[in-house]
Amino acid sequence: MKTTSILLAGVGGQGVVAAGDVLAKALLYSAFDVKKSEIHGMAQRGGSVFSHVRFGGKVHSPVIPEGCADFIVSFEKMEFLRYLQYANETTILLLSSTRIFPLSVNMGEDSYPEEVVEKYKSSFASCIQLDAEAIATEFGNRKLAGTVLLARLSEFLPITFEAWQKAVTSAFHADIAELNLAVFNKIGKFHEDNKGV
């Protein structure tokens, strides 16, 4: 079975590492071999954070080789630009429209690179853009944005609702898990009418 590679990218505090943990657990509960790695040394300072999650019949390395990402999930609108070397002509980009301005932009020394984002997002096989924070806010907590992105990503992955449920309930306290599962119940292939697909 081919190894599938997913790169999650964002800014410290957005829950990139937690989302990677939930994704890896859901894949393990689906009986795949899973490898995961992450960099989050600057997470406390709002720096760039990314996580590699790879799954298949037998995965030999937790690190995605350059040019081999099947999916790049960008929690912040421009963060995917840092990882273009992992993309290829079939990579799918899942892009949140959330913008977190770097210090240089906040100080007026630079501008947010909207035109660069537009240029490069069109180079992917497909770009699915959504306002993950706005959708999360509809559920009462903007910190659910990572779960919104995972729920959307679930449309492409061979993971059942039951596996996601086990992963979420093992990762969060009961009340937080319930909120996260509510997102899966409403978004992607696990809309209430399609559970278990």
Sign (positive/negative) of CA torsion 80, 155, 14, 77? Answer: positive
Which domains can be identified in the chain, with CATH numbers? 4-194 (3.40.920.10)
C-alpha to C-alpha distance for 90 and 109, rounded to whole angstroms: 36
Cβ burial, residue 32 (10 Å; 0-12/13-18/19+): buried
d(CA 53, CA 34): 7
Closest CA to 86 of 51, 56, 35: 51
- Residue 65 is classified by DSSP as P
Output the pLDDT for position 98: 87
The Cα 77–Cα 53 span in angstroms is: 20
CA 72 to the chain's CA centroid: 7
**Each residue's pLDDT expressed in tens, for the chain with a length of 197 residues:** 899 999 999 988 888 999 999 999 999 999 999 999 987 555 455 678 899 999 999 999 999 999 999 999 999 999 999 999 999 999 999 999 988 866 666 677 677 778 889 999 989 999 999 999 999 999 989 899 999 999 999 999 999 989 999 999 999 999 899 999 999 888 867 665 544 44
Residues 76 and 96 sit within 8 Å (Cβ to Cβ)? yes
Sequence length of the chain is: 197
The confidence score (pLDDT) of residue 43 equals 47
